[in-house]
Amino acid sequence: MGVSSPSGDVAGSEEAAAVVGALLPSDAEVERPPCSSSDHAPDLLALLRGRGGARVLLLGHLDTVISHSEHRPLERAGDRLVGSGAVDMKGGVVLALGVLRALATVRDAFAEAALLLVTDEEWRTRDFAHADRFAGFDACLCFEAGERGPDRHGSASSEGVVVRRKAAGTLRVRATGASAHSGSAPDRGRNALLALAAAASAVAHAHDPDGPERLTAVPTILRSGEAFNVVPARGELFCDLRAERLAAFEPVLAAIPSEVGGATLEAELVRRWPAMDAREATAALLEHAGELLGRPVVGVERGGASDASHVATRLPLTVDGLGPRGGGAHTPDEFVLRETLRTRAEVALAVTAAVLERSSRAAAA
């Protein structure tokens, strides 16, 4: 976690990959498959061969959203480990490495264990490149941040893992107008900024978190204008969309006007992440994991996107949120709760053991 590896920075990703490489089991086969985003460093794939039948994918990412200039090396602050990417998700990568090293000691329990760490999760706008490769595996375990979950009595004493996520989309709107002097001839221009403001208002109007699709539509970035005294001729707007289904985003695009005040607008979804719902597929697995652990393991929902959603389209037995608990993701004060490195490692090992036992029972049947 001391390495600064903002998404898209090749040198930072390579340094992080080198650290991971030093911690892998000595006989792990290491590949560097091309990243889904062509301008990023290659992803890292480590493979262990076993003598059993199960095939398990451990999934995570090495990139963060924090720039080099704002990077905060890991430091201890009371019960917290504070630093850039601590909970999203280098703390999870640490636990994934621990699980892989544990698997290296029980080769009869699996046929293949793979650790895939990608370098573009935070800013990817292209299709995820690796889902098909692991379609025949028994399970995918993803190590995004963990959390507490309600137990059968409604308290928050159980261990939560993520089995449901919304679909996620990034909407980009580009405006093209005409520049003019804002003092002497403002009406000769076609104001791209005002057109984008209208588009932002249309998106915000579609926001309906309590509706049937649980749609959230939030304008997040607007860029327009080059000088304080010139009518802006161009600009772009970004909006974050989340819903039960990707199809719920189409009415949002349709609500954006094609022209405002003479400036034209072009809208497109530049990022499409599918929804994930593994509640039914993982219910028995999590119940057994709780029995092995000695405390309940409960499937919960989270609004944020994850690469687990992509894999779940090919591999129904996908469990996410196996990393440590913490908070402040994507901020300078990001942290992991120190005690959860141990407790969440226990959860991850219990879920992994449940996967291996499930595969063994299936083979015997």
Average pLDDT over residues 249-262: 97
Of 16-25, 154-163, 169-178, 204-213, minimum mean pLDDT range: 154-163
Say whether both 291 and 246 belong to one domain: no
Say whether both 148 and 30 belong to one domain: yes
Answer yes or no: is 112 within a domain.
yes
Say whether both 225 and 280 belong to one domain: no
Say whether both 259 and 289 belong to one domain: no
The mean of the pLDDT values for the chain is 95
Answer yes or no: is 50 within a domain.
yes
Average pLDDT over residues 248-260: 97
pLDDT value of position 1: 66
Number of domains composing the chain: 2
Residue 68 has pLDDT above 80, yes or no: yes
Q: How far is CA 156 from CA 79, 292, 357, in A?
A: 20, 19, 28
Say whether both 83 and 192 belong to one domain: no
Domain end, chosen from 212, 240, 272, is at: 272
Residue tagged 């599918």 (tokens): 274
Answer yes or no: is 213 within a domain.
yes
Residue 53 has pLDDT above 60, yes or no: yes
pTM of this prediction? 0.91
Residue 162 has pLDDT above 60, yes or no: yes
Answer yes or no: is 4 within a domain.
no
Q: Please report, for the domain that includes residue 46, its CATH number.
A: 3.40.630.10
Q: What's the rounded Cα separation, in Å, for the pair 338 and 173? A: 42
Say whether both 20 and 128 belong to one domain: yes
Residue 128 binned pLDDT confidence (cut-offs 50, 70, 90):
very high
Answer yes or no: is 2 within a domain.
no
Domain end, chosen from 272, 295, 320, is at: 272
Answer yes or no: is 5 within a domain.
no
Domain end, chosen from 272, 305, 335, is at: 272
Say whether both 83 and 185 belong to one domain: no
Say whether both 286 and 255 belong to one domain: no
Say whether both 244 and 324 belong to one domain: no
Answer yes or no: is 297 within a domain.
yes
pLDDT value of position 10: 97
Domain of 51?
A: 10-166+275-364
Amino acid found at 65: V
| Edge-to-edge strand ranges of the sheet holding 318-319 | 29-31, 44-49, 112-118, 55-61, 139-142, 318-319
Between 302 and 304, name the one with better pLDDT: 302
Say whether both 132 and 203 belong to one domain: no
Q: Please report, for the domain that includes residue 268, its CATH number.
A: 3.30.70.360
Q: What is the pLDDT of residues 226-243, one digit of tens each?
A: 999 999 999 999 999 999
Say whether both 261 and 204 belong to one domain: yes
pLDDT value of position 150: 72
Answer yes or no: is 156 within a domain.
yes
Say whether both 65 and 180 belong to one domain: no
Residue 287 contacts residue 295 (beta carbons within 8 Å): no
